[in-house]
A and B are shown apart, each in its own frame.
Chain A
């Protein structure tokens, strides 16, 4: 009886594991399900073509009920990294960190050190926006736009079927497929920045990092 229960629990956990890993949702043991778990990263030209938009989403697969109690972690800094000269090392960063109901933004600025460890340079351009609940509160500061709060998860995929294919219980996708992420939310950070502040023209390399206070 106990063994059966454990087995059932294990299989169930494995299935949930398969279903919930995607885009970057819950991608690795140390980050999974924590407040430092990045689910997705987007970078695209803004409505105003002189601007670029960065989106970082964390804490995926939030049900509407879970969304009401979800919050950004004050010990986690989300850092947008921008490489303007093609060496895949960040030349500029935009850092976002919450404090007491507001999301603070630093940058874009050239960090004093690159790589795995970061500090915040409080002399850098500083902006802030109140963290939204259901309706969006946005801020325009220093020529940029800012948002932080829950949003519908923009990611879409039939991840359950992908898991079934990898697990050997299905041989292909269904048509139509079912969006595993339908009806779920994430916590989003959105920054719109003038292209002139992040290289101006050409191609940049970008990535997002979640960093925990030591």
Chain B
């Protein structure tokens, strides 16, 4: 017991000495190197909102998260299309399209490659009535846009009780300046 105490005391004193030495060396030593080594392996990924949640079947969600975007379309488009037509009556008839003019195959072909398209030339929004898929701003009501494209049919008029969740804005206001997101609760 006593020996341990002495050991601890010795270690403590030794540590203090080292710290003191460092403090006294006039910053001639470089900052202690921070270790960033190693290989980092993908666990989760995301481009557009809610894509994995809505369009990927339960058993494939991890696979989707660990497939690189350039390979997602070929591997997942048919699953996306089956899940879309299973979910929404707006694509039930041959020739049915959404308001972007895309049928089930074309729409899921777009979504299966899960990247966010972003314009560097101006307005950035998921959809603002004029611009389509030019980014994602904090205040964009992305869920209603997606519900409209899934359930709303050619002119947003189909399945009205399914095509808007009626939550149109965040619970806190965003800032116009960096870091833009609202303070935490």
The interface of chain A, by Cβ under 8 A from chain B, is 21-25, 27-31, 34, 36-38, 40-47, 49, 52-53, 55, 63-64, 67, 76-77, 79, 83, 87-89, 97, 99-100, 104, 106, 114-120, 122, 134-136, 138, 145, 147, 150-152, 154-158, 161-162, 165, 171-179, 181-185, 188, 190, 192, 195, 198-214
Contacts and interface: CB of A to CB of B under 8 A. Distances in A.
A183 B184 CA distance: 9
A55 B47 contact: no
26 contacts: A24-B49, A24-B51, A29-B61, A41-B49, A42-B137, A43-B124, A44-B118, A46-B178, A55-B180, A88-B70, A97-B36, A114-B68, A115-B68, A116-B66, A136-B179, A138-B178, A145-B178, A154-B181, A154-B182, A156-B168, A172-B162, A175-B164, A179-B167, A188-B181, A209-B45, A211-B40
B95 interface: no
B116 interface: yes
B120 A31 contact: no
Given A67-B185, A210-B44, A83 B167 contact: no
B185 A43 contact: no
A207 B48 CA distance: 8
**Which of A42, A199, A205 has the largest number of chain B CB atoms within 10 A?**
A42
A211 B42 contact: yes
Interface residues of B, number: 71
Contact of B117 (A179, A190, A205): A205
Nearest to B181: A151
Contacts of B181: 55, 151-152, 154, 188, 190
A125 to B, nearest CB: 14
B28 interface: no
A160 B129 CA distance: 27
